[in-house]
Structures are given as structure tokens and as C-alpha cells.
């Protein structure tokens, strides 16, 4: 490539809100996220040998010589570690020069990092299937952060279609698009900044691995199996995963029938399970969710994402909530031009 080959690229990747199916993906369970109409847009031109990027969302300019083979987690500015990690995964040799804009708040549990990974992947010429983009981006997330996250965020962000939520089977790695009716509002409320780095997220992954060492895969375990676990903490973690997988199945059925009170009931139960069995909520989040659940017109609400802060999501009658962001089911990561 020569400088005269520079061609313009515009890529958009959405954030996501998880409707239900929390902390199930890394045990091969079911998750039901939805890509939202907030996201990251990269405007760039191609250039040989280098990535040079600035971002609305963080300080500094990222300069990366390609191919990039070092440890991405040490890259400055720190937001560039996700970019470097994708470049490393892809063994990219053709670069880009451009600017990132975002209207997903970072640290809110709406998957800004997964959106960034998918956007950079497409900008660097990734041309595989949506699942392959998701797998590459998830590997990049692991290398950048060291947090052993599941596939939900990247798979939703790569595979989503407008007007649908994405029902993901994290064992079979399938993504089914389920229509979101237009006579309900889905509202996201930002509660508190959080990061999964240094959080108890990795502990939860390890606790589930201990449960699976006793029971086999949690995705096929039942509550009788769970009751045989002696250790109270491991039993509660397993109970959350087993009951949450079942809630996802029931939620998908209720969504197809437009049974909104049932959606709300399942969301409220999901929150209670994350609070009481999985210990990933906070007092501030519990208070916010309780307030949402007692608001007339709200069918149900829960924490969404990895937890320890982040956002709440509510499903309600149109126009019920004046605070928060009403979000619309949006398309996955794509080249805009
Ligand atoms: C984070 C991770 C996901 C998933 C959720 C919890 O968003 O990136 O893989 O585990 O937490 O459901």
C-alpha cells in the first residue's frame, strides 16, 4: 500500500444492554442481550504500517507500529490497549489514521470495550463471520485486560440486527434474533461507574468452575444437582446460573407472546438472584432497581452487565420513565462507508 492508496473508512459498533441471562455465558449458558442505539464510530483513512488514533472518550494519541507484537495491556493511552490487542490478534500490517467518537459511557457496563474491539476489527479489514469477529474480539479483550469474560458482549455486538434482541446459546455458539415489540420502552439508567478489572468477576468464573468440577456442565444441571453441593457459596453461585438459564428460556417465550408482566417478573427474579445468590449487585443498585420496580407502568427492572455498579435496565409502558435513556434495538457492528 502507498500513501496514495489511503481510502476513507467509517465503522459503527453499538453498545449493548443485557435484558436477561447474566453471568451465564462463561459456563456455556443462555444470554439475551440487545444492541442499542448508542455506540462507537470510527472515522479513518487507511495507511500502511501504522495505527494513529485519537478518541473523544480518552486523552492522548495512540501510535502503534504494525505488526504489533508486544503486551497490549501496557499501551498508553490506556484506551489504546484494546486497539493494540485487536491489531495483535489480527496480525494486522495495514493500519489506519483516524478518530473515535462514542456516546456509550465507559465503565457503565454497556460494553464500550467490546464495541471498540469490534469497530477496530472491521476497520483493520476483518472479513470473517460474525461469530469469528466476536471470538477474535473476545480474545483481544482477554489479552488487553486479563479478565476472563465470556462471549456475550462481543457476539451481540457483532451479530445483532435492527429491531431484535439476540438470544445467545454460549455453548453451541448460536445467535437467534428475536423481535422487540414497539409498544414497550426499554430504559437504561446509569447508576455508578465500575470496572471488572480487579473486581470479583474472576472469582465468580472460578467459583462456577468449582461447581462444574462437582456437577458437570451447569447448563445441563438442575436444582436437585445443585442441592448436593456442600459449600454454601458454590451452591448459591450454581443456583443462580441454573435458575438464570431457565429464566432466559421463559423470557424468550414471554417476549414472543408479548406477555410483558411475565417479562417483568423474570427480570425482577433475575435481579434478586444476582443480589442474593451471585453477590454481584450493590446497595445503590438494589435501591435503584427497587425504585424502578415500584414505579407504575414499569413491568420489571434489574441490574445489567457484569455488576458491582454499572446500569439498571427496565421494561415499561411507553413514556413511563423520564430519567434514563430509552434505548432501541439496533444493528451490530458494520462499515458505514
Ligand atoms: C461482562 C462480561 C460478559 C458477561 C457479563 C455478565 O459484561 O464481559 O461476558 O459475563 O459481564 O453477564
Is the distance from the beta carbon of residue 307 to the nearest atom of ligand 1 less than 6 Å? no
Residue with cell 441490574: 303
Omega before 68 within 30 of 0, i.e. cis? no
Of 149, 154, 166, 303, the residue with max ligand 1 atoms within 8 A of its CB, to mutate for a pocket test, comes to 149
Ligand 1 centroid to residue 12 C-alpha, Å: 21
Is the distance from the beta carbon of residue 89 to the nearest atom of ligand 1 less than 6 Å? no
- Per-residue pLDDT reduced to its tens digit, 251-303: 999 999 999 999 999 999 999 999 999 999 999 999 999 999 999 999 999 99
Enclosing H/E stretch for 157: helix 152-159
Question: Which sequence positions are flagged as catalytic?
Answer: 153
Q: List the alpha helices (DSSP H) in 178-304.
A: 201-215, 223-227, 232-256, 260-276, 283-293
Q: Model-level pTM greater than 0.85?
A: yes
How many of the other CB atoms lie within 10 Å of CB of 228?
Answer: 11
What pLDDT score does 251 carry?
98
How many of the other CB atoms lie within 10 Å of CB of 320?
Answer: 18
- Per-residue pLDDT reduced to its tens digit, 186-225: 999 999 998 888 889 999 999 999 999 999 999 999 999 9
Is the distance from the beta carbon of residue 9 to the nearest atom of ligand 1 less than 6 Å? no
Ligand 1 centroid to residue 30 C-alpha, Å: 12
Domains of the chain, first to last: 3-179+331-335 (3.30.230.10), 185-327 (3.30.70.890)
Please return the burial class of 223, using the count of CB atoms within 10 Å of its CB with bins 0-12, 13-18 and 19+.
exposed
Alpha carbon distance 247, 252 (integer Å): 9
- Per-residue pLDDT reduced to its tens digit, 121-148: 999 999 999 999 999 999 999 999 999 9
Pick the atom of ligand 1 nearest to 26's CA: 10
Is the distance from the beta carbon of residue 153 to the nearest atom of ligand 1 less than 6 Å? yes
Alpha carbon distance 39, 112 (integer Å): 7
Instruction: Write the CB contacts of 291 (distance below 8 Å, at least 6 apart in sequence).
Output: none
Amino acid at each position: 500500500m502507498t500513501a496514495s492508496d489511503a481510502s476513507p473508512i467509517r465503522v459503527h459498533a453499538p453498545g449493548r444492554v443485557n435484558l436477561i441471562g447474566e453471568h451465564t455465558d462463561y459456563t456455556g449458558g443462555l444470554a439475551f442481550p440487545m444492541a442499542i442505539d448508542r455506540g462507537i464510530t470510527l472515522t479513518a483513512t487507511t495507511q500502511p504500517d501504522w495505527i494513529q488514533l485519537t478518541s473523544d472518550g480518552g486523552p492522548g494519541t495512540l501510535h502503534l507500529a504494525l505488526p504489533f507484537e508486544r503486551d497490549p495491556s501496557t499501551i498508553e493511552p490506556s484506551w489504546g490497549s484494546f486497539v493494540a490487542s485487536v491489531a495483535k490478534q489480527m496480525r494486522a500490517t495495514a493500519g489506519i489514521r483516524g478518530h473515535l467518537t462514542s456516546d456509550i459511557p465507559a465503565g457503565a457496563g454497556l460494553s464500550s470495550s467490546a464495541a471498540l474491539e469490534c469497530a477496530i476489527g472491521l476497520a483493520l479489514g476483518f472479513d470473517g463471520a460474525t461469530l469469528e469477529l466476536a471470538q477474535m474480539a473476545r480474545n483481544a479483550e482477554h489479552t488487553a485486560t486479563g479478565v476472563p469474560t465470556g462471549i456475550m458482549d462481543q457476539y451481540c455486538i457483532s451479530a445483532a440486527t435492527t429491531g431484535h434482541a439476540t438470544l445467545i446459546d454460549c455453548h453451541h455458539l448460536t445467535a437467534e434474533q428475536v423481535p422487540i415489540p414497539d409498544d414497550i420502552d426499554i430504559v437504561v439508567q446509569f447508576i455508578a461507574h465500575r470496572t471488572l478489572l480487579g473486581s470479583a468477576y474472576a472469582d465468580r468464573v472460578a467459583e462456577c468452575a468449582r461447581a462444574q468440577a462437582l456437577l458437570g456442565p451447569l447448563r445441563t444441571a438442575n436444582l436437585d444437582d445443585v442441592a448436593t453441593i456442600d459449600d454454601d457459596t458454590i451452591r448459591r453461585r450454581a443456583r443462580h446460573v441454573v435458575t438464570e438459564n431457565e429464566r432466559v428460556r421463559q423470557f424468550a417465550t414471554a417476549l414472543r407472546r408479548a406477555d410483558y408482566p411475565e417479562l417483568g417478573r423474570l427480570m425482577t427474579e433475575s435481579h434478586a438472584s444476582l443480589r442474593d445468590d451471585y453477590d454481584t449487585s450493590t446497595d445503590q443498585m438494589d435501591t435503584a432497581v427497587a425504585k424502578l420496580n415500584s414505579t407504575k407502568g414499569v413491568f420489571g427492572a434489574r441490574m445489567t452487565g457484569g455488576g458491582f455498579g454499572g446500569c439498571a435496565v427496565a421494561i415499561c409502558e411507553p413514556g413511563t420513565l423520564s430519567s434514563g435513556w430509552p434505548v432501541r434495538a439496533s444493528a451490530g457492528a458494520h462499515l458505514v462507508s
